[in-house]
Amino acid sequence: MDEKSKKRLDNILKKEKDAVTPVEFVFLHSRSSYLTPEEHEYFLGSEKKETSYQELQKKAKELGLKYVGVSKDQLSAAISKAENAKTR
């Protein structure tokens, strides 16, 4: 994992479970192999909290990204990329 992603993961893991945003949850889920078993259970549990397509569209719109006619995976990737660019 690159240094920027590692810092982002560390910042998310410092939060309370209820404070994690849908986009951060997608980030955690996509990097679940880096979590300890305890972190995985705490944040992801046995049931998966899926970020809805509508939630991703709303976030993409807030970030000024294309949000209509885009797949859920493309939205997640674009949002993650845009948020990474904001933290630079």
pLDDT tier at 88 (50, 70, 90 boundaries)? low
Beta carbons of 25 and 51 less than 8 angstroms apart: yes
Q: Report yes or no on whether pTM surpasses 0.85.
A: no
Q: What are 46-87's pLDDT values in tens digits?
A: 655 567 888 899 989 999 999 999 998 899 889 888 887 776
Place of tokens 């549990």: 45
pLDDT at 45: 81
* Total domains in the fold of the chain: 1
The confidence score (pLDDT) of residue 51 equals 77
- What pLDDT does 10 receive? 95
Query: Which residues are CB-neighbours of 30 under 8 A, at least 6 positions away?
Result: 76
Range of the domain at 14: 3-86
Band (pLDDT 50/70/90 cuts) for residue 13 is very high
